[in-house]
Structure formats: C-alpha cells, structure tokens
C-alpha cells in the first residue's frame, strides 16, 4: 500500500521545518555508503534524490570527491533547505576551502530531467526514499531514465518488519493502520527488473531501538516521518486518545530492561542501467542515441 499523496505532502512540509535531518537517515546513509567501497565505477556526476532529508551528501562526496552533485527535492520547502545547506558550507573562510580535500560542487535543484547531463548521471543515490514515494513504479523508471548506460543506483528504505510492535498495538486497540506496507526486498528486485535495470542486488538488516519512555519515543518518531497510510484515521485525534496511545505504548512495548523497544527493518537496493537491447528482425531500426550507446559500450 503506497502512501496517500495528501498525507505525504503534509509530512514533507513538516519535516522540512526540522532543525536538521533525522539521525536515523544519517546512520542509514553511512551504512549504504559502506556498500560503495566494493563498486569500481567512478561517476563523474551523481544525483542526490531527496538530498536534504536523505543526509547522504558527506558520505557520497567522501567516496567520490571529484564528482559533481545534482540534487532533486520533492518540495519547494526542501529545495530551500538544500540551498541553505549549500550556502552554509560555502561560508567558510577562503583558506579553509583551499585546504579542503573536497572541491566545490555545483548543485542543480530542479525537477528531473531538465538541465541534467544529457547522457545521464553515473550514480543515482536515494537514501531512505523507498517508503517515501506514492508511486514506486514511476519512481524506478525515473531513476532509470536519469542514469547513463552502465550507471548505477543505490537506494534504501524501511522494510516490512519495521514497527511491527506498533502495528500490533494499533490492531489490539482497533485504531486502523499506523504505517504503510513497506516493500519487501524480493519485490524490490522484481520491480527493478520491470523498470529496465540489470544485476539487482538486495540486502536487508534489522535494528532494535529502545527509548526510556513513550514521550521520547514519539518525539523521535516524528523526526523520521509520520503516518501516511491510506487507511489511517481521517480526522484529528483528541488529547484523550493521545493519552490512551501513551498508555498503550508503555504497556505493550516495555522490554525486560525497562525501556520501550521498536524493530526496524532496513532494505538496501543496488542495480545497473544496461545498454539497450536491440531486437533483431529482418529489418531493424535503431535510434541515433541508442546507436551511440551501443558504440560506447563496445
């Protein structure tokens, strides 16, 4: 079940007002970045999809310091946050910039595909993006279109076991859905192939996070996102309901060590854009662009 578009827009507007991106997104970016060490390709350009919330800029630029960064954001408010972030980086003294091992990076904050490199970028980086799209099929096709031939995709998101304890609480209380249905890594691989990618590699890991109390847990959850499920409660909740929620969390999520716990499943995906396959018939027509790609490939 994909996120409801109106709910997703509301949550993105709220998240754009955070002081900084969630620590969880930064931690997942670091883990996704570790997987870059095994990749020999060296992109000249890379696309940071949802760059501000994704928090992956330092990770990717440490691995590819010479590559030019392009950024796409899902809302005007998040474009502003990326612009502010870039301005803060470039307010350092001239001598600090000169001593830095990272060269200046040009950011283009425009919707795809206008003004992008005509042949595409070498890397699409989309950290914590899989659960933040209302149309994954279209998203995967956009990523495929954005890549050059032999370019590669690195993405991540939340998997099906995420917040399973919370779903159990909501079910027991008759409160509907607290989350969307997160994509399974096996379904992710099939979707990559359908979008035209080759050599998909999927991975997952589970984390167990704990908090001292329900108030602290809820406060941190809100920095990760919010309930964007299509079947969520449609109206505004009351203070009385919130008190019931707090009590239910304290009762059902308390672990033997006295802390409240929640499971997270992280799903990682990697895939490559292959050269186009030209069907061979009695008469085969090949576009000039495809011919150029085939020549480069050979």
Residue pLDDT, tens place only, 16-25: 999 999 999 9
Q: What are phi and psi of 45, to 5 degrees?
A: -125, 145
Residue 134 lies in a domain: yes
Nearest to 32 by CA among 209, 224, 269: 269
Using the predicted structure, report yes or no on whether residue 102 has a pLDDT greater than 80: no
Using the predicted structure, report yes or no on whether residue 194 has a pLDDT greater than 80: yes
At 229-254, the pLDDT tens digits run 877 776 677 889 899 999 999 999 99
Domain that holds residue 119: 5-162+180-210+265-297
**Going by DSSP bridges, is the β-strand pair 198-211/260-272 parallel, antiparallel, or unpaired?**
antiparallel
Using the predicted structure, report yes or no on whether residue 297 has a pLDDT greater than 70: no
At 107-155, the pLDDT tens digits run 556 555 566 788 899 999 999 999 988 899 999 999 999 999 999 999 9
Going by pLDDT thresholds of 50, 70 and 90, the confidence category of residue 210 is very high
Strands (DSSP E) contained in 16-82 are 45-49, 68-72
- pLDDT at position 110 is 58
- pLDDT at position 19 is 94
Say which range, 12-21, 35-44, 105-114, has the weakest mean pLDDT: 105-114
Residue 224 lies in a domain: no
79 close to 73: Cβ distance less than 8 angstroms = yes
Q: Into how many domains does the chain fold?
A: 1
At 259-281, the pLDDT tens digits run 999 999 999 999 999 998 766 55
The three-state DSSP-derived secondary structure of 227-282 is CCCCCCCCCCCCHHHHHHHHHHHHHHCECCCCCEEEEEEEEEEEEECCCCCCCCCC
Q: 156: part of which helix (H) or strand (E)?
A: strand 147-158
Nearest to 54 by CA among 12, 92, 108: 12
The half-sphere exposure of 92 on its side-chain side, counting CA atoms within 13 A, is 12
- Distance between CA atoms of 252 and 39, rounded to whole angstroms? 43
Q: What are 261's strand-pairing partners?
A: 210
- Distance between CA atoms of 157 and 183, rounded to whole angstroms? 8
Residue 115 lies in a domain: yes
Using the predicted structure, report yes or no on whether residue 182 has a pLDDT greater than 60: yes
Residue 133 lies in a domain: yes
Residue 170 lies in a domain: no
pTM of the model: 0.86
- pLDDT at position 113 is 55
Cβ-proximal residues to 150 (8 Å cutoff; 6+ apart), any chain: 41, 272, 273, 274, 275, 297
- pLDDT at position 228 is 87
Q: List the CATH number of the domain containing 193.
A: 3.40.50.150
Residue 11 lies in a domain: yes
Written as six digits, the tokens of 264 are 């997270």
Residue 248 lies in a domain: no
On the 0-12 / 13-18 / 19+ scale of CB atoms within 10 A, 97 is middle
198 close to 172: Cβ distance less than 8 angstroms = no
Nearest to 38 by CA among 138, 152, 119, 132: 152
Residue 245 lies in a domain: no
Measured at the CA of 289, the angle between CA 146 and CA 151, to 5 degrees, comes to 35
Using the predicted structure, report yes or no on whether residue 99 has a pLDDT greater than 50: no
């Amino acid at each position: 079940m994909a996120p409801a578009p109106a709910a997703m827009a509301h949550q993105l507007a709220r998240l754009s007002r955070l002081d900084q991106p969630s620590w969880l997104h930064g931690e997942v970016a670091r883990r996704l970045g570790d997987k870059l060490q095994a990749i020999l390709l060296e992109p000249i350009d890379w696309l940071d999809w949802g760059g501000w919330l994704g928090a992956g800029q330092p990770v990717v630029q440490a691995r590819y310091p010479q590559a030019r960064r392009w950024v796409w954001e899902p809302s005007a408010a998040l474009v502003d946050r990326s612009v502010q972030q870039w301005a803060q980086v470039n307010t350092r003294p001239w001598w600090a910039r000169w001593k830095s091992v990272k060269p200046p990076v040009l950011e283009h904050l425009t919707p795809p595909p206008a003004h992008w490199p005509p042949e595409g970028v070498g890397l699409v980086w989309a950290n914590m993006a899989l659960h933040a799209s209302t149309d994954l099929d279209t998203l995967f096709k956009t990523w495929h279109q954005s890549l050059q031939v032999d370019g590669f995709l690195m993405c991540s998101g939340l998997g099906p076991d995420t917040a399973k304890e919370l779903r159990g609480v909501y079910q027991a209380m008759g409160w509907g859905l607290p989350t969307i249905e997160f994509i399974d890594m096996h379904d992710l691989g099939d979707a990559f192939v359908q979008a035209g990618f080759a050599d998909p590699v999927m991975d997952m890991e589970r984390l167990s996070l704990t908090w001292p109390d329900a108030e602290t847990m809820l406060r941190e959850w809100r920095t990760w996102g919010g309930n964007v499920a299509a079947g969520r409660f449609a109206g505004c909740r009351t203070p009385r309901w919130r008190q019931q929620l707090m009590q239910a969390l304290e009762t059902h999520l308390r672990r033997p060590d006295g802390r409240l716990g929640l499971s997270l499943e992280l799903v990682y995906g990697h895939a490559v854009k292959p050269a186009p396959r030209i069907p061979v018939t009695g008469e085969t027509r090949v576009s000039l662009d495809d011919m150029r790609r085939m020549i480069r490939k050979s």
